[in-house]
Amino acid sequence: MEGHGPDPTNRVPPTEPEGPLQAHGPPGYARCVAFDEALAERVQDVLGDAPDVVAKRMFGGVAFMVAGNMACGVMGDDLMVRVGKDDQAACLALPHTRPMEMSGRVMGGFVVVDAGGLDDDDALTTWVERGAGYAASLPAK
């Protein structure tokens, strides 16, 4: 059935048109979070086109799934990375990081790397590979 299931190219989904998002809220509900599409493309380039890597629009940004588990994502100009609860404190001690919060609640096992820590391709690769490695260690969904 056309239009259903993951995009076979596994690339970042296109940006939705400007204006109200009728499918995601009532009339007048405008997208309030945009994401850095260039950063999302850089993340996609690190992850490659493996069949178990899928980009999904969520949280006003784009999340990258590895074997059905969230590995990382782009929200605004920042990168959220799933590092696991055991490594979260050590990752938060690194420069340009902060806890990931959703609706005022800290999300265990995730960190946010701000744009200042992502300018260097090697740094971005390290973070993306850290998230992908953790996601790959979980049972596939």
Per-residue pLDDT tens over the stretch 66-111: 999 999 999 999 999 999 999 999 999 999 999 999 889 999 999 9
Number of domains in the chain: 1
In a domain, 1, yes or no: no
In a domain, 109, yes or no: yes
In a domain, 67, yes or no: yes
Long-range contacts of range 32-39, CB-CB < 8 Å, 24 or more positions apart? Answer: 32/60, 33/59, 33/60, 33/61, 33/75, 33/76, 34/60, 34/76, 35/60, 35/61, 35/62, 35/74, 35/75, 35/76, 36/74, 36/76, 36/77, 36/115, 37/12, 39/74, 39/77, 39/79, 39/115, 39/118
State pLDDT tens for residues 24-47: 333 443 444 589 999 999 999 999
pLDDT for the residue numbered 1: 44
- The answer to whether the CB of 126 falls within 8 A of the CB of 46 is no
In a domain, 50, yes or no: yes
Determine if the pTM surpasses 0.75: yes
In a domain, 19, yes or no: no
State the CATH number of the domain containing residue 128: 3.90.1150.30
In a domain, 104, yes or no: yes
User: Which range marks the domain in which residue 52 is found?
Assistant: 34-137
